[in-house]
Amino acid sequence: MIAFKNGTHIHLHPALIKAYTALRKSRLVLWIKFLVIGACIYVLHSRLNAFDFRPDFLYKYPDLGKILFFFLLLAGINFFLDVYLWAIISGGKRKNRLRLSHYARHHLISMSLGFITPNNLGEYGGKMRQFNAPTSKIKGFLLAFHFRTVKTVARNLIGLAAVIWLYTTDRLPYLTTWQIGLLALFVSVYALFYVFLEDLLPLISSFSIQGKNYFQLFLRIRFSLIQKTKWTLVSSIKFLIYVVQLTLLLKVSEQDIGLLELMANVCFYYSLASYLPTILAFDPIVKGAAGILMLRHLGLNDWIVLTSVTMVWVTNVAFPSIVGSFLWLRKKKPTHL
């Protein structure tokens, strides 16, 4: 149980408590994250030049209103697709699904809980709270895993396609053939892991947590390749919206770069930077430093890269998490996850 000063209590599922305790004891992961954050702060300090500071780059553009409107519209579509993806994963068949507002509420709360917990553990708890029965909550954990994994698969595939195109057209100077081959191998193994996930679950079905075997319940849940393909397509569109948002902001300030080349570089940047270990609150620092390093061959202004990455993060991650925290705090009764 987690208690807060306002009297609110959260009762976590035993499986989550066990996982959370293990994460707390594993200080190595935390130290790695702090080292990454420290390295990114050093990169920002060394790369950002005070004389190049241009926070007003958007104001100098004549169609500022149209740009911001389109940017916010894309953020809204991205959120809708996120909710829709969770609805089709957790809601099952169309006739059994509830209204999208039901899934949106749980998704917002899970985002806020993931924001304040290590390794986004709270997001799994937030997704599990959508279900009532204990066995259904275990199912919710697996569905949340599918929700996060399918987005990673889509991001990997699009990023790999972008890298191959950039390399074959001589637009990616800092990668070699064997490095791209290694990336292709990793993406392929990850995708195959997801496709055959149900066949791999029996390998862990004998493990128990606090004397209870929760993984046996996973064996009853199977999804077809058609379902996973549909989820991957939705996730791909969602990821491309991120790419278009950042590309739009970068293109406004740098008109000389080709649109397709810029989009491909942003695809590769986002797909690779998502694997950097960090704390979600410091995500703009880590992603901003990674963007400065990975996009420097395009001649982009470092401040513009950092500002643009932060704007995309605020509209798609921070703002929904804040809304979700208000929805969660409105509940007067103890919340059972």
Q: What is the pLDDT of residues 4-48, one digit of tens each?
A: 344 444 444 555 555 555 555 456 656 666 676 777 676 776 766
Domain count for the chain, please give it.
1
Phi, psi torsion values for 10, nearest 5 degrees:
-115, 125
Nearest to 161 by CA among 242, 286, 260: 260
- 214 φψ region: left (φ > 0), alpha (ψ -120 to 50), beta (else): alpha
Quote the pTM value. Answer: 0.81
Furthest C-alpha separation in the chain: 65
CA dist., res. 206 & res. 258, Å (int): 54
Containing structural domain, residue 326: 2-336
CA dist., res. 327 & res. 175, Å (int): 45
CA dist., res. 129 & res. 108, Å (int): 12
In 3-state terms, the chain is what percent helix, strand and coil (to 5)? Answer: 75, 5, 25
285 SS3 class: helix
H/E stretch holding 30 reads helix 27-47
pLDDT in tens, 92-135: 665 556 778 888 888 888 888 877 666 667 777 778 777 776 66
